[in-house]
Structure 1
């Protein structure tokens, strides 16, 4: 499951609604918001939550709110008043550490409940079990970390998630956005420090494939149109879309596929040798990560072999360099697996 964040420091604008629609169309199915309101007018905030809830309902999006018992009390809504919460459009709650486990166990029979993944202990699990909690409705959500250098370590996250899944929790983590980063620090809102400036799709796939994360949400409110399109292409069309610099427009006019046997150093696009029959040699060039190459006539039966370079390679007189994957998308190259469809989107000349 994919989600993104909507913060209610101001009323939903037509532009924000349009952004929510774009994210929904790109394959996102959940929204995260916060109902911690230390300075805002509680009544105004409830109106904003209700408006967001209606927008999510109209688009078929689940809405999870970060809540505390004290914050809900300020708004005049009890944290266990699920009827009122449903009227606001909330479909799940992320509760802080101040809510009793017996209350969480009771709530888990009425709607999904997310706990702070970093602080869940064996004692908490035992108390939830004794109270008859429905673990099918319990999730463990990691925090995002606005301050640079404070995000989590990947090895720690993997080990923690392994334990959480053994206890029966669904796991969740955040990735940073790539534009209009949330203030006041404007440094991204990732769970992992390594993801603070990462390509959002690459960060998402690593969390899912390597770090035992079930749900991934964008911590910042907005993805750029280019990043949104990458999510759409991958999750709706099973295609990795790469921005490239090249003077060869034929590269951008079709869908390519990685071979079923995945090479260590390069992505080998199977259509190359079938479609490209003659390639005069050009001056040899070094092949940095992201270089787009084609084997020339001097490579004999390999002529037309089309590759995307995953690790730096030296110049080879039998290989022509014909383009370069954009720096923003280099992290996607190691994630291109067996038979993976790949498209290239032109981003200016090479």
Structure 2
């Protein structure tokens, strides 16, 4: 099951604002909350009470709450890895170790009597996970979560992200990563130029970031790293279909009613005999073989164009395609629309036989 989450930072806001944000996210189907103790200062009891109030409210709306901690937090609050009652008393469901111990401590923590999940940092290419697993942790209470990066250009490269993520998925561990709100204004630290996991996501619309993460098939939970995302962003993120890639498109005025129906209403899948030039969805030519498809917009084809073969292509008429590269148009192909430029790179992530769909770009 794939889930969506938000982040809150109580030390930088108010309980009232956090509660309003949590309530709004709940209305859009969000189920996870990430919050951070790394930047929190104060006495142990004061921190406990401050976070307990907001976590209690989140739990009343069935959110699962993860606290970001490190060995330094354990030391400063005089918490032993043998006794995680402090986090349980806060109401947390999981603690994320931004920095780890030796591996043995983490393994022991997975057997805590409170059922707290232990979440470890995924953004590392070291043997840390292998070392931890050698101490035989309870895998049902072990998960992974990537970092976020407030410094522009400092977030993960895509190849490195894939390398790190595959290590966790190879062991069947549940995984999470962060996306960046373009409307949010703060995070846990004074410097905040966005909070994505992947650098390539920093300026993209939030729904595109999430769709990309889900299309890698390596991430189970997508969390908005910064606060507060706008209601429009929460809404758009809630509409992302985690199991079926959805491409936002612009349709041209020349499109016919049948062509429009094919694009937006018919099911599509990537035909398995792969071409370098386009992604083929062929069932529409079967269903609509008796319909007319007169030539309309037969302009030169560009990468990302939505194509429907017209009647000049004989038995191929009605077939839908997504152009993978620029091509010459013989006059037999109607160019009916174009994949949104923000999402254009995602067509390369479709796999043969995979289902997909289109929606009008808002």
Q: Aligned ranges for residues 119-268 of structure 1 at < 5 Å?
A: 122=127, 126=131, 129-130=134-135, 133-164=137-168, 168=171, 170=173, 172-183=175-186, 187-198=193-204, 199-208=208-217, 212-213=218-219, 215-221=221-227, 222=229, 225=232, 228-229=235-236, 231-235=238-242, 238=244, 240=246, 242-247=248-253, 248=255, 250=257, 251=260, 254-259=264-269, 261-262=271-272, 263-264=274-275, 265-268=278-281
Unpaired runs of 5+ residues, structure 1, are none
Report deviation, 1:58.
2.8
In structure 2, C-alpha distance between the alignment counterparts of 1:329 and 1:256, rounded to whole Å: 20
Q: Aligned ranges for residues 307-322 of structure 1 at < 5 Å?
A: 307-322=321-336
Tell me the equivalent position of 2:109: 107
Whether contact under 8 Å (1:201, 1:231) holds in the other structure is: no
Report deviation, 1:114.
1.7
Of residues 285-294 and 174-183 in structure 1, the stretch that sits farther from structure 2 once superposed is 174-183
Tell me the equivalent position of 1:344: 359
Structure 1 residues 287 and 89: CA distance shift in structure 2, 3 A: farther
Of residues 176-185 and 188-197 in structure 1, the stretch that sits farther from structure 2 once superposed is 176-185
Tell me the equivalent position of 1:278: 292
Report deviation, 1:200.
1.5
Whether contact under 8 Å (1:287, 1:309) holds in the other structure is: yes
Report deviation, 1:101.
4.4
Structure 1 residues 143 and 340: CA distance shift in structure 2, 3 A: same
Tell me the equivalent position of 2:5: 4
Match of 2:61 among 55, 59, 62: 59
Whether contact under 8 Å (2:271, 2:282) holds in the other structure is: no
Unpaired runs of 5+ residues, structure 2, are none
Normalised to the residue count of structure 1, the TM-score between the two structures is 0.77
In structure 2, C-alpha distance between the alignment counterparts of 1:223 and 1:314, rounded to whole Å: 42
SS in 2 for 1:6: strand
Report deviation, 1:113.
1.0
Equivalences, count: 338
Report deviation, 1:92.
0.6
Report deviation, 1:316.
3.1
Normalised to the residue count of structure 2, the TM-score between the two structures is 0.75
Per-residue Cα deviation, 1:260-291 (whole angstroms, up to 9, x for no partner): 52443134263355347223323531222332
Q: Aligned ranges for residues 19-98 of structure 1 at < 5 Å?
A: 19-23=24-28, 25=29, 28-38=30-40, 45-71=47-73, 81-97=83-99
